[in-house]
């Protein structure tokens, strides 16, 4: 397999607190020729052809994360931390810019993890304002018509749009139970999807299937660092286990046609996370990466023939600790 990477090359800039199970996946351009993703505190656009850096996203020297490409390819939305208005305190803010990094426009303050809906006319993000409970907000692509759409609980995270662009799955801690939930763009139809079998487990990281008929999620043991992968019907709430626990199985994502799933796991017996691919029903599991450190946050190319992902190597300091990879998949 052809594995290439670009590494974080600024040892003087401290890296952010990092964790393996992140929703900051690399994001592909619609034509599949480029990837935008996090590289330490930076976000960059990479060429699929030669893996060169084509542009940097966001202000120089600022923490820029969660870049997401618009479905029409014309803009990239991202979050950055700093003083976005004169006299204001430093805070997270959401911006959009051209793919070459120019024409940056402030869309919202106190927000992180922005994501375009599949139609490209709306953006969902996580409100992140001091001690205020994190909630899901939906706005027009230009930042207008901002609306709270998620219900009670705290830490509303891991947003995933439905293919139709009118619903959002997310996870939260609600009524003393870790849940996955679904809301709509009006905020009037927020409902529980799963609750870890009434709080026995921790359910998180929902990911909507391309056909809209299933939502993939992680079910974590509360005592041991292991979890299984499950699917749930968003209409009937019928659950099905597709990969048993016994290892850490994280960051699962559907292929564009819904026939395959790539996920990060230490199921090979090592302590580090590698990437694995399996059929959508949990069969035919194949290991596809084996690099130092943790490979995580996989993202399929639009043609389903490549995967972009991030790597975090705790054994290195600063330079080389963070890497952004593009890997062509074998036929």
Tens digits of residue pLDDT in 27-74? 999 999 999 999 888 999 999 999 999 999 999 989 999 999 999 999
Mean pLDDT computed over 251-273:
94
Q: Homologous superfamily of 24-148 in CATH?
A: YVTN repeat-like/Quinoprotein amine dehydrogenase (2.130.10.10)
End-to-end alpha-carbon separation of the chain, Å? 10
Helix and strand element counts for the chain (H, E): 1, 28
Instruction: Answer yes or no: are the C-beta atoms of 70 and 77 closer than 8 Å.
Output: yes
Q: What are phi and psi of 111, to 5 degrees?
A: -130, 150
- Burial class of residue 93, CB neighbours in 10 A (0-12, 13-18, 19+): buried
Digit-coded pLDDT (tens) for 287-305: 999 999 999 999 999 999 9
Of the pLDDT bands very low, low, confident and very high (cuts 50, 70, 90), residue 132 is low
Q: What is the pTM of this model?
A: 0.91
Mean pLDDT computed over 75-95:
90
Mean pLDDT of the chain: 90
**Domains in the chain: boundaries:** 24-148
Of the pLDDT bands very low, low, confident and very high (cuts 50, 70, 90), residue 7 is very low
pLDDT of residue 313: 87
Higher pLDDT, 176 or 121: 121
Give the strands of the sheet with 274-279, arranged side by side.
249-254, 260-265, 274-279, 286-287
Higher pLDDT, 4 or 132: 132
Higher pLDDT, 6 or 268: 268
Alpha-carbon distances, residue 201 vs 64, 177, 242, 245, 268 (angstroms): 33, 9, 16, 12, 24
Digit-coded pLDDT (tens) for 217-228: 999 999 998 999
pLDDT of residue 317: 75
Percent of the chain with pLDDT over 90: 75
Residue 221 and residue 225: Cα distance in Å, rounded? 7
């Amino acid at each position: 397999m052809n594995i290439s990477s670009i590494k974080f090359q600024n040892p003087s800039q401290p890296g952010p607190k990092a964790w393996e199970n992140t929703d900051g996946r690399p994001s592909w351009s619609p034509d599949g020729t480029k990837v935008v993703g996090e590289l330490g505190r930076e976000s960059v656009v990479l060429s699929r052809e030669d893996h060169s850096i084509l542009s940097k996203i966001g202000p120089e020297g600022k923490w820029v994360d969660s870049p997401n490409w618009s479905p029409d390819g014309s803009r990239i939305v991202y979050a950055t931390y700093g003083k976005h208005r004169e006299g204001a305190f430093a805070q997270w803010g959401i911006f959009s810019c051209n793919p070459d990094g120019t024409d940056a426009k402030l869309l919202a303050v106190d927000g992180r993890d922005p994501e375009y809906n599949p139609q490209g006319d709306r953006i969902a993000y996580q409100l992140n304002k001091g001690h205020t409970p994190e909630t899901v907000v939906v706005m027009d692509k230009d930042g207008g018509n901002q609306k709270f759409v998620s219900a009670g609980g705290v830490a509303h995270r891991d947003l995933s749009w439905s293919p139709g662009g009118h619903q959002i799955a997310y996870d939260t801690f609600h009524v003393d139970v870790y849940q996955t939930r679904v809301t709509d763009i009006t905020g009037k139809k927020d409902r529980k999807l799963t609750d870890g079998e009434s709080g026995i487990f921790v359910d998180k990281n929902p990911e909507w299937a391309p056909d809209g008929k299933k939502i993939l999620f992680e079910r974590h043991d509360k005592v041991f660092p292991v979890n299984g992968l499950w699917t749930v019907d968003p209409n009937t709430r019928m659950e099905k286990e597709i990969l048993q626990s016994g290892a850490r199985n994280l960051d699962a994502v559907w292929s564009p046609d819904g026939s395959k799933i790539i996920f990060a796991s230490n199921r090979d017996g090592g302590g580090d996370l590698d990437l694995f691919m399996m059929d959508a029903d949990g069969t035919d599991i194949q290991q596809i990466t084996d690099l130092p450190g943790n490979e995580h946050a996989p993202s399929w190319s639009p043609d389903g023939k490549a995967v972009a992902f991030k790597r975090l190597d705790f054994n290195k300091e600063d330079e080389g600790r963070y890497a952004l990879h593009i890997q062509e998949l074998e036929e």
